Structure 1
Amino acid sequence: MVHQTMNTKISSAPRASRARSSMGWWARGGLAAILGSLAACSSPPLQAPPAAAPMPRASAARWAAVDWRDLPGWGSSDDLLAAWPALLANCQRPAPGWAEFCARAAQQAPADATEATLFLMKHLRPWRLAADGGEATGLLTGYFEPQLVASRVRQGVFQWPLLALPADPALRRLPRRDSDADPRFAALAYLDDPFALLQLQVQGSGRLVMRDANGGAERVSRVAFAGHNDQPFQSVVRALLERGEVGDATPPSLRDWARRNPGRVRDALAVNPRVVYFREEALADASQGPRGAQGLPLVPGRSVAVDRAVIGLGTPLWLDSTEPWSPGAAAAPLRRLVLAQDTGGAIQGAVRADLFWGWGDDAALRAGRTKQPLRLWALLPQGLTP
């Protein structure tokens, strides 16, 4: 999921209670003793599958080896047992230097969050990320997978085509104004909201909820990024905001503007000449996210898009930020283990991440509100340097 870029708990209730009490002890000062015991431990190497892709060059960022105690909230703010399934899934495609760690992780079955934390501390080492200028604070944003109502045929309010990638290279480069009305383009489906179509093109993938021609049961499928027309991106919403035609960029405001100005919608959309093309995929498991640039399903709340020139895909990261703002609520810390599994055109720099929140209305709301300061630490296997 190259967009313009699920916390799966495996513990029972008693186990979760045991993990909470252990984490409380951890926060009260067991860290130094555990670190000392870990330093005395050694493990023989295991046979593991070869790694996949090269690590990025460290010149794109400043990497500084740090102590685990330097990571805000480490050992207390995130249940790493809940993150364990995502970590194991991430190991399906280990990067160079990660194969032995992944082989060891596959043999583990942590009883609680403390065991999971100790395993990571024993086999990984934290590195603080900073920009070339030394700035350690960057930006966290969020993205999601839209879920939209669609029709297989153009009818009624369903007038906005979701286009498949044309086979003809010359045809696929046409700007939006030309492609919207050209019968040579094949539509996968039609949407009832032109701004939802734009949102889908920005996010890079989405779910379509469709009924068959006879009004039968709903069917949900996924559409994924298949390419674009190589035209520059221009913000349609920004143009409307600058002209004072909408008061904000929320979906209700945009839908209301389109309802009041049906004859002006096509001209408004033509401000953005870029067209994103899609391919349709079966949605065998509705609990799985779209595939990211790493080739694995994205996990809500655990997968991030990063600048792969700085951070290798598959790298675990410790994230220190705040929860998405909501009216009347104080900013709560957001500190958790995430995995670098995706990329995005706007995601550039060492301390920059885009957090995948999932799909549906709640994920859309959280993604829209995510724009907070960020600090990042990369967790690399012992002996592996950036």
Structure 2
Amino acid sequence: MKHNILFLITILLLVGCSKEPKIVLLETPKTDISESSFEELPNWDNEDYSKALSSFLESCKTSKTKVLYKELCSRGANTTDAKKFFTQNFTPYKIDTTDSKEDGLLTGYYEPLLKGSLTKKGPYIYPVYATPRDLVVVDFAKQYPELQNYRLRGRVNGNKVVPYYTRKELNGKALDADVVCYVDSRIDLFFLEVQGSGRVRLDNGEVIYVGFDNLNGYKYSSIGKYLIDAGEMSYAQASMKGIKEWCDKNPTKVDDLLNKNESMVFFKKKDKPATGSLGVVLTPNRSVAVDQRYLPLGSMLYLSADTKEKDLNRIVIAQDTGGAIKGCVRADLFFGYGDEAGNSAGKLKAPLKLWILLPKNNQKESMCEAR
């Protein structure tokens, strides 16, 4: 039997409540799910339940996870049997792709390490910009609740708000913005934007963390897809490694290639490693980025992907989002920090099956308290 995620969680909130609860998951109206079981989850018996539980409890530090799982967060902290905790307290629901034009897809991302300097000097000539002072962000949520997940970005021109500059228009332009640092590679800087956060080893030996702060307001466009469509490489070659190799062989075409993606990311210095949209430090191999129009941040998922090297089957937590992550059965798995993580993330592109783990019906009273 199919359900809609919003409808199902609404039922859990409403049944047995003495007071009318507030329905909080308005951002997931499009996702159809079908009740499943742990026996139907691929390779469930080989899961590392303790690591999965640790990841869940880390996510429980956030308000969004607490809204979804409230009492189960404290129950999980006191359990002595991680596997039994999952099987006794949750029901898996298969996320359906019936209405999707494409099958599910799993990709990977990581926290890159760049070389840089706090001052501009050779070879550190590419600025990592903070949010420009003339960038305006308009939030319509109060007046139009249906637009709560959308922001209008632009700049003021006279008495009008007009689109902000594209990547091409910003190339070589003196921005009214602070520079977090300078790095030695425009390609590595571009992929830092794609990943959303990273580390920079400065020329004085210090390592700083940088993370997403804002956008120029344009949709993300894949340069890998452009190269495929242009006949420059095959689908299998269009990994981060393959794109970097293409750029090394075609240095005069790099600027034109990067400009195909009009979107540009602005950064800020951070005091801790990669943190997702949920607000917690990401856990390698357990944190995923999802499309929050379909899946709520903070939710626990089970993914199954058939890769060329090995199958991936595990519990993960929806702790991040990304401009390229679109659709209900779509996830980006975080691999961690460094070159090894980058190699693993760069080559992952596999068909995906996805389940969401929701509290059993007998948890309705605890869900009811999350008003």
Pairwise same-fold verdict (TM > 0.5): yes
Q: Relative to 1, partners in 2 of residues 1:378 and 1:245: Cα closer, same or farther, differing over 3 Å?
A: closer
The one-letter amino acid paired with 1:278 is F
Aligned to 1:152: 118
Aligned to 2:212: 225
**Residue pair 1:54, 1:95 contacting (<8 A) in 2 also:** no
Query: What is the aligned-residue RMSD (CA, Å)?
Result: 3.1
Residue 90, structure 1, aligned to residue 74, structure 2: no
2: distance between equivalents of 1:201 and 1:106? 36
Aligned residue runs from structure 1 range 151-190, under 5 A: 151-169=117-135, 170=155, 173-183=164-174, 184-190=176-182
**Residue pair 2:116, 2:182 contacting (<8 A) in 1 also:** yes
Aligned residue runs from structure 1 range 299-310, under 5 A: 299-310=283-294
The gaps in structure 1 that reach 5 residues or longer are: 1-50, 213-217, 284-288, 326-330
SS of residue paired to 2:82:
helix
Aligned to 1:125: 91
The one-letter amino acid paired with 1:196 is D
1: distance between equivalents of 2:169 and 2:101? 45
Per the TM alignment, residue 131 of structure 1 is displaced from its structure 2 partner at its CA by 2.6
Q: Relative to 1, partners in 2 of residues 1:228 and 1:382: Cα closer, same or farther, differing over 3 Å?
A: same
Aligned to 2:352: 374
2: distance between equivalents of 1:53 and 1:295? 22
Aligned residue runs from structure 1 range 165-314, under 5 A: 165-169=131-135, 170=155, 173-183=164-174, 184-212=176-204, 218-236=205-223, 239=226, 249=238, 265-283=254-272, 289-314=273-298
2: distance between equivalents of 1:353 and 1:188? 30
2: distance between equivalents of 1:53 and 1:346? 29
Per the TM alignment, residue 304 of structure 1 is displaced from its structure 2 partner at its CA by 0.9
Q: Relative to 1, partners in 2 of residues 1:117 and 1:227: Cα closer, same or farther, differing over 3 Å?
A: same
Larger gyration radius, structure 1 or structure 2: 1
Aligned to 1:355: 333
1: distance between equivalents of 2:287 and 2:243? 29
1:102-134 per-residue CA deviation (whole Å, 9 max, x = no partner) reads 1111222x3xxxx21111111111111113438
2: distance between equivalents of 1:58 and 1:227? 24
Q: Relative to 1, partners in 2 of residues 1:209 and 1:58: Cα closer, same or farther, differing over 3 Å?
A: closer
2: distance between equivalents of 1:136 and 1:128? 16
1:48-71 per-residue CA deviation (whole Å, 9 max, x = no partner) reads xxx999235664122222222121
Per the TM alignment, residue 250 of structure 1 is displaced from its structure 2 partner at its CA by 5.8
Q: Relative to 1, partners in 2 of residues 1:56 and 1:138: Cα closer, same or farther, differing over 3 Å?
A: farther
Aligned to 2:319: 341
1: distance between equivalents of 2:114 and 2:250? 22
SS of residue paired to 1:96:
helix
SS of residue paired to 2:211:
strand
1:189-234 per-residue CA deviation (whole Å, 9 max, x = no partner) reads 122111111111111111111123xxxxx11111111111123444
**Residue pair 1:61, 1:349 contacting (<8 A) in 2 also:** no
Between 371-380 and 165-174, the greater mean CA deviation after superposition:
165-174
Per the TM alignment, residue 357 of structure 1 is displaced from its structure 2 partner at its CA by 1.0
Relative to total residues, which structure has the larger strand share, 1 or 2? 2
Between 334-343 and 257-266, the greater mean CA deviation after superposition:
257-266
Residue 116, structure 1, aligned to residue 82, structure 2: yes
Alignment identity in percent?
A: 33
2: distance between equivalents of 1:237 and 1:349? 19
**Residue pair 2:27, 2:292 contacting (<8 A) in 1 also:** no
1: distance between equivalents of 2:22 and 2:58? 15
Aligned to 2:152: none
SS of residue paired to 2:46:
coil
1: distance between equivalents of 2:245 and 2:360? 55
The one-letter amino acid paired with 1:276 is V
Per the TM alignment, residue 272 of structure 1 is displaced from its structure 2 partner at its CA by 3.4
2:70 to 99, 110, 118: 99
Per the TM alignment, residue 166 of structure 1 is displaced from its structure 2 partner at its CA by 1.1
The one-letter amino acid paired with 1:133 is D
**Residue pair 1:60, 1:132 contacting (<8 A) in 2 also:** no
**Residue pair 2:66, 2:73 contacting (<8 A) in 1 also:** no
Q: TM-score, length-normalised on structure 1?
A: 0.72
Q: TM-score, length-normalised on structure 2?
A: 0.74
1:315-371 per-residue CA deviation (whole Å, 9 max, x = no partner) reads 11111113x43xxxxx42211111111112232332221111112111111111211
Q: Relative to 1, partners in 2 of residues 1:174 and 1:195: Cα closer, same or farther, differing over 3 Å?
A: same
2: distance between equivalents of 1:52 and 1:164? 38
**Residue pair 2:240, 2:347 contacting (<8 A) in 1 also:** no
Q: Relative to 1, partners in 2 of residues 1:343 and 1:261: Cα closer, same or farther, differing over 3 Å?
A: closer
Q: Relative to 1, partners in 2 of residues 1:246 and 1:209: Cα closer, same or farther, differing over 3 Å?
A: farther
Aligned to 1:40: none
